[in-house]
Structure 1
Amino acid sequence: MSGNGFKQIGLWIDFNKAHIIGYQDGSVEILETVESPVESLRRQDGEGNDSTKFTSNNNHTSNNEYRKNNISQNELKEYFKILESKLQPFDDILIFGPGTAREQIKNRLREIKSFDSKWISVQKSDKLTDNQLLAFVRDFYKNESPAVR
């Protein structure tokens, strides 16, 4: 991903993917889309529902929530680590999207010393089309006064 000289970006994020949108002097463009490695439901061939493993016998079930949660958390950490490296070159970061992923990435970035000098803002939004993503970032930075930061 090349920053194309952008110093202000928008990050639309949910647990499936993230869009990085660059902004400079009223111009916006989607720089990159990052797919999440988090898989909410994995099944192997032969599995029935989430609690039954490799058998049609309902008396034999396996529901290892701890293992599933551990795998999910590790995948989420990997996803956020990928995003951290992509956000590193930017000074102003707008994080927006549905759900809780935006708050989780903001909290993680705040724990990293190299992000201390960066301006990070969080906004709530719904799922948006590509044009709506561009408009959201453009409107935010157009209306945001540098004196507020």
Structure 2
Amino acid sequence: MSQKNKKQFGVWMDTHNATIIGRKDSDTSEFTVLGHVKNIGADGNSNENAANNQEIALTQKFFKEIAIKMPNIDQIHITGTGQIQEQFMKFLADTAQYKNAESSDSTSNKMSDEDTVAYFEEYFK
């Protein structure tokens, strides 16, 4: 399978935002923004246990919303700030549909959509 026909995706993410980059179809060589996903985060809660459970549930929902925008992944590169990328990679590895995807991660600061597209185009060359 050639590099151009692989279903390659890139995700820039932090704990509250994700930008999903990919090709609209595998025949096109241009990467584009496929979508943005927001994680609203837990609201104020006086019970620490309830707040922790809510945060876990919202993070799982955030990961699922990102994954929906990337069907049939062959390769994915996840970048962003913090440790959320590692958690997302684990989520993908534990999900049957994505467990065979080749994944990698790195750390980077927030970029504009255009810079993010350029970053992933360069990464997947």
TM-score tier, shorter chain, comes to: 0.7 to 0.9
Q: What corresponds to 1:39 in structure 2?
A: 41
| TM-score computed with the length of structure 1 as normaliser | 0.69
Identity %: 27
5 Å-filtered alignment, 1:1-149, equals 7-23=7-23, 25=29, 27-36=30-39, 38-40=40-42, 42-43=43-44, 63-142=46-125
Distance 1:89 1:114 in 2: 7
Give the greater-gyration-radius structure (CA): 1
Instruction: For 1:14, give the aligned amino acid.
Output: D
Q: Using a 3 Å threshold, how does the CA distance of structure 1 residues 6 and 32 change in structure 2: closer, same or farther?
A: farther
Equivalent pairs, count: 117
**Contact persistence 1:6–1:22 (CA under 8 A):** no
Q: What corresponds to 1:46 in structure 2?
A: none
Distance 2:73 2:99 in 1: 12
Distance 1:73 1:117 in 2: 24
Measured on the aligned residues, the alpha-carbon RMSD in Å equals 2.1
Q: 5+ unaligned residues in a row in structure 1: which ranges?
A: 44-49, 51-62, 143-149
Distance 1:69 1:140 in 2: 36
Instruction: For 2:31, give the aligned amino acid.
Output: V
1:12-58 deviations in whole A, cap 9, x for unaligned?
11121211111453x2211111122x324x35xxxxxx8xxxxxxxx
